[in-house]
Amino acid sequence: MSKKPSSLERVGRFSARHPVIVISTWILVAIITFVTQKAYGGIYQDNFNLKGTQSYQGLSLLSKSDKAASGYGGLVVIHAYKGTIPQQSAAVLQSYSNLASLPDVLSVSNPLAANSPTMSENQTTAYFNINFSVVPKSLGTGYLNSLYTATQPMKKAGLEVEYGGGLDQLTRPTTKDIGSEAIGFGVALVVLLISFGTIAGSILPLLTAFLSVIIGLSLLGLVAAVVTFGTVSPTLAVMIGLGVGIDYAVFLTTRFRQKIIDGFDPISAAGATVKSSGHAVLVAATSVSIALFGLYGSGIGFIGQLGFASVFGVVTAAIGAMTLVPAALGLIGRRIDHFKVRKPVAEASGSTEKDGWYRYALNVARRPWIFLIGGVILMVILTIPLFSMRIGHIGDGADPTSFTDKRAYSLISTAFGPGANGTFQVVIDMAGTKVSASQLEEKLYTSLTSTTDVARASQPTLTPDGKLIVATVVPMTDPQSSQTTTLFNTLLNTTIKQVTAGTGATGYVTGGTASQIQFSQTLASRLPIIILIVVLTAFLLIMSTFRSLILAIKAAALNLLSISAAYGVITAVFQWGWGRSLLGVSENVPIESYVPMMMFAIVFGLSMDYEIFLLSRVKESWDITKDNSLSVAKGISSTARVITAAALIMVSVFAAFVGSPEVEIKMIAIGLATSVLIDATVVRLLLVPAIMNILGTKCWYIPKWLDRVLPHIEAEGAEDEDRREPLTDEAARLAIEGNEYSAPSQEVESSATNG
């Protein structure tokens, strides 16, 4: 008597039996969510302010005492190629008046005012410092027309006008990365055709992943109306959604084809596929999602919400794998191998000396120490740059020259020095002071101007309510420089403390640059927390799934080594500048503060896909044979082709986003592509089999008490008990090309088995 189908198998069978209904439903949902998001979706904006930090406290005090001097800053930079700016004073003053009249503008500095610090010495470059009551990004693209209209008099007068500072998020072109996605799809199609040999089997994973991503991205846009997501959030959701979506579909498609070869009808094959590989997809998607939600462990909402945004792509990809993929497979049926470009490849037919991967695995078993040492040496070499990694914020200076904020940045750097792009505001709270304001002002000015790496400082002034002393400090170096960070620490921990010592006053260093530096420092200090959360999650998942303490330790250690190597690569490329010009990055930059956290969570989650896929096959053989070396060889031979193809696809998808104009996206793309490539090749094909062969049966050790308390997680759903014998080549050809072949009866199967 056959067992009752599992819930996953029933989902797979239903989807395959009613493909038109399922696929039409997905398309309808995609259209509805896309249209709704266009009408009611929110915006994406970055917020680097952290409540509780001294920079946030200083800004809050300033906002209460002098609202016009606080708010959110933006710059309008002007340059005269002929003559000087004062010669066009009428146009400049008209634009100044226009800017001051714009909605949500608190104040605007006048570069033509006497002794204005915003006019260069040669009077050919100047800028308007604008304070907005809201984040400029939230004003929407429609506000741009008003901004451009306000500055039109200066443009008509022949002045160059550029927009920078906080206006960068508003003025820079919206990057849809459509070209990156198209390139990723194209390369993925080539990899699939080469790896699996059929057009139908290659296009299916791309189409299902694409439809899943559309829905995920649209849902993210709707949630963005009530949750503030960073500007990179939609790109992250697309990158990860496409990567895992194609991977999951590939895993299911290859298993489906193997089921067809084994004699299953298409509906039964789809059900069995979702029951087994679909279960593995759910486990993998859950591990990725848990790792991404683990970013909330940083205690920083901005970072947690980046992880939350990425989950949209993972969840829709997993749901698509459970329903949309089997529906498409049911629609294609035995035609899965039609339109061949080469001999089609199924999931596995190997585990014999004729299979190249099987021979390779046996070779590793004979010389495990050589493969282990070689793999570790390679990983260590790639990791070396990590030890000089400097976490910071990527400024406008690294943007392409096609961006107006980059041109504004360059104009200010040339005319006022690089530090003018990243000034600090020093705020002294007079509450409870024992000395006069004039004494503090004099002492503060003397201390600021004598501090190392200060280019200049403004004369300290009292706010209108007389509660605060405020001064502006211009560093000698640009905002990305380590010297600017050092100056921030010096001002905060030395200069201000010396000024306020014994006076009862309290000092703060605030402003956009200060907030970004403290944001980066806070993230760096909390990175170990994220590492602990994610590593512990992966450790428990592997141990619960494969009932092995040793394999869990091995997985955690190798994943740490893998991510360290990826960190080393992005440090060498972006911070050291090795090949960065080929990526279109104009200068060496620090590693963006949130990138290491995002990479760690994403890579640990994705690596679980390959770990689970490989170890589930190894354990399947181990449970039957209790021969560790043989089990490792069978696991490698049955998964290496699929893992390699899936990894190449994901690398292609990630690497395609290098074409994005956003430096942070380039960095994430290189980091994730490198991580996946290392994980699927060096780790999965060198280090894992070498270590498992060296440890032998110890791989499967787990204390009895621990085995009792751990939850039981199945990597894959159990195979059907009446699994058919693999067909002959001719029978398999008939099975996938038409209905001429009928599955063998139980008597025939029994005879074949006994024979």
Whether residue 393 is found in the same domain as residue 409: no
- Over range 130-158, report the average pLDDT: 87
Within this chain, do residues 324 and 242 fall inside the same structural domain, yes or no?
yes
Portion of the chain with pLDDT greater than 90, in percent: 37
Length of the chain: 755
pLDDT at residue 58 is higher than 60: yes
Count: domains in the chain: 4
Q: Of 22-36, 183-197, 472-486, 572-586, which gets the smallest average pLDDT?
A: 183-197
8 A C-beta contact, residue 476 and residue 452: no
Q: Examine the domain organization and report whether 248 and 308 are in the same domain.
A: yes
- Residues 369, 296, single domain; the answer is no
Which pLDDT score, from 0 to 100, does residue 287 have?
80
Residue 274 lies in a domain: yes
The confidence band for 419, taking pLDDT boundaries of 50, 70 and 90, is: very high
pLDDT greater than 90 at residue 324? yes
Q: Which residue has the tokens 């490329």?
A: 573
Domain that holds residue 455: 400-517
Average pLDDT, the chain: 84
* 155 and 94 together in one domain: yes
Pair (570, 671) in one structural domain: yes
Alpha helices for 388-478 (secondary structure H) = 404-416, 437-449
DSSP string, 119-187: B-TTSSEEEEEEEESS-GGGG-THHHHHHHHHTHHHHHTT-EEEEEGGGHHHHSPP---HHHHHHHHHH
Kindly state whether residues 28 and 134 are assigned to the same domain.
no
Does 100 map to a domain?
yes
Q: Is residue 731 included in any domain, yes or no? A: no
| In a domain? residue 721 | no
**Ramachandran assignment for 584, one of left (phi > 0), alpha (psi -120 to 50 degrees), beta (any other):** left
CB atoms within 10 A of CB 127: 26
Give per-residue pLDDT as tens, 294-309. 888 888 888 889 999 9
In the chain, the percentage of residues whose pLDDT exceeds 70 is 90
690 and 556 in a common domain: yes
Give the contacts of 280 (CB within 8 A, at least 6 positions apart): 251, 612, 613, 616, 715, 716
**What is the CATH classification number for the domain harbouring 494?**
3.30.70.100
Q: How far apart are CA 203 and CA 199, in angstroms?
A: 6
- DSSP secondary-structure letter at 531? H
Q: What is the pLDDT of residue 103?
A: 92
Least confident of 168-172, 444-448, 606-610, 732-736: 732-736
Using the predicted structure, report yes or no on whether residue 111 has a pLDDT greater than 90: yes
Output the CA–CA distances (angstroms, integers) from residue 300 to 287, 381, 547, 710, in the order listed: 21, 33, 35, 31
Band of pLDDT at residue 721, cut at 50, 70 and 90 = very low
What's the pLDDT band for 751 if we cut at 50, 70, 90?
Answer: very low
Residue 427 is predicted with a pLDDT of 94
pLDDT at 730 over 80: no
Is residue 197 scored above 50 in pLDDT?
yes
Largest CA distance in the chain: 104
Q: Are residues 130 and 238 in the same domain?
A: no
Distance CA 317, CA 32 (A): 18
Task: Identify the DSSP state of 532.
Answer: H
| C-alpha to C-alpha distance for 399 and 411, rounded to whole angstroms | 14
What pTM did the predictor assign? Answer: 0.80
In a domain, 738, yes or no: no
Residue 737 pLDDT greater than 50, yes or no: no
Of 129, 125, 110, 130, which Cα lies nearest the Cα of 160? 125
CA 421 to chain centre: 27
Query: 542 Cβ partners below 8 Å, 6+ apart?
Result: 548, 551, 552, 555, 556, 608, 611, 615
Regarding whether 440 and 310 lie in a shared domain, the answer is no
